[in-house]
Amino acid sequence: MTFENAPSRARRKVRHGDIIISTVRTYLRAISPINNPEPNMIVSTGFAVIHPKKGMDSQFAAYALRAPYFVDEVVANSVGVSYPAINASELIALTIILPSLAEQRAIAAFLDRKTAHINTLISKKERLITLLQEKRAALISHTVTKGLDPDVPMKDSGVEWLGEIPAHWEVKRIKQIVSKIGSGKTPRGGAEVYSKSGVTFLRSQNIHFDGLRLEDVVYISDSIDKEMASTRVFPDDVLLNITGASLGRCSIVPDIFPPANVNQHVCIIRPIIEYINPLFLNRAFASKILQAQIFSWENGTSREGLTFSQIANMVLTAPINLEEQRAIASLLYRKTAKLDTLISKIYKAIEKLQEYRTALISAAVTGKIDVRNENRN
């Protein structure tokens, strides 16, 4: 599009050798060099565009501005709670360590070589995670649509894209087997009212296919909790992310879980246990059958989203017998637990590589490593 037609929040011109630094939510450390961009590329006004002057090597600058000591200064000088930000004039007043131009280039060459090797290792591990996740999804999808007996008689499901299902299974819509489909809400005041103790408040980042992740969970006060009674979750509720990049991720609330609420990005799906096993339903939402429906119905221009009506009309297939549902869910949880453990170990290995890369960059750009001999070797 032409520049005059570009959104008002996308007006920062960039060129090769620039470094962009996010000036909002600076704790996310969104900093990146611009290398060989498309012609006339522009970025959001949420970035400050740094163009190194003569005497500063652009490749060195790309590393130096991502060094922990500098990023910590950016974060420390940011203002605000929900969206801490720093303005460009304050950003460029911060200082960095600047060696001679020759040494800058030596450091950049050293880091290019070392980080390229680390990045290759990370990419291989990420690919392995993708393959394991695909294996996990295929296992779930086959089992929740075909069952455990490969020799069971089959019948036409009556749904073209679903194909054949076991003869004693039924096709149901979600609304026929649940008593509640509804999301939570964010309390008045947003993130500023979150606390370090109180009633658990689940957000989309806490909802994952392998279960609830509570490392960064937040809490709300008892008084706010009373205002949000309709968003209380209970054991066996299936929680589904209905907006944003995590659209479609789902978890089940464990049997033993403290009082908790959810925000508006998480949908509470409460199964009728006389019709559907909660663990089976949770696995069904993680299957390709329901995931395909989720992404075929996503809507919204700037942020994907599902409506309650769309969720209610999703189709799944399940055994009539609840004991068979339980057996399928139990088998899947055992098998996927092994895959989840392996995936978790690989994620931790990636984190260690990322930490090593950060430490290496920090040591090199602050002179803790003499790279001149390294480059000669």
- DSSP secondary structure code for residue 253 in this structure: -
Can 1-98 and 133-321 be said to share one CATH topology? Answer: yes
d(CA 240, CA 263): 11
Q: Are strands 19-22 and 47-50 parallel, antiparallel or unpaired?
A: antiparallel
Q: Give the pLDDT band (50/70/90) at residue 13.
A: confident
Q: Does 3.20.20.150 match the CATH number of domain 133-321?
A: no
How would DSSP label each residue in 173-190?
EGGGTEEEEEE--PPTTG
Residue 354 clears pLDDT 80, i.e. is over it: yes
Of the listed ranges 23-32, 48-57, 125-134, 302-311, the least confidently predicted one is: 302-311
> Do 225 and 198 form a contact (C-beta atoms < 8 A)?
yes
Domains of the chain, by residue range, sit at 1-98, 133-321
Fold of 1-98: Adenine-n6-DNA-methyltransferase TaqI; Chain A, domain 2 (3.90.220)
> Do 303 and 244 form a contact (C-beta atoms < 8 A)?
yes
Please give the C-alpha separations between residue 183 and each of 93, 237, 307, 330, in angstroms, as whole numbers: 44, 12, 10, 28
**% of the chain surpassing 90 pLDDT:** 70
Instruction: Assign 240 to helix, strand or coil.
Output: strand
> Do 68 and 362 form a contact (C-beta atoms < 8 A)?
yes
Given this model, what pLDDT does residue 138 score? 92
Residue that has been written with the tokens 């087997």 in this structure: 177
Instruction: Assign 231 to helix, strand or coil.
Output: helix
Q: What is the pTM of this model?
A: 0.78
How would DSSP label each residue in 58-103?
HHHHHHHTTSHHHHHHHHHT-B-SSS-B--HHHHTTS------HHH
Instruction: Assign 10 to helix, strand or coil.
Output: coil
Of the listed ranges 48-52, 122-126, 193-197, the least confidently predicted one is: 193-197
pLDDT in tens, 238-283: 999 999 889 999 999 999 999 999 999 999 999 999 999 999 999 9
pLDDT in tens, 280-318: 999 999 999 999 999 887 554 344 579 999 999 999 999
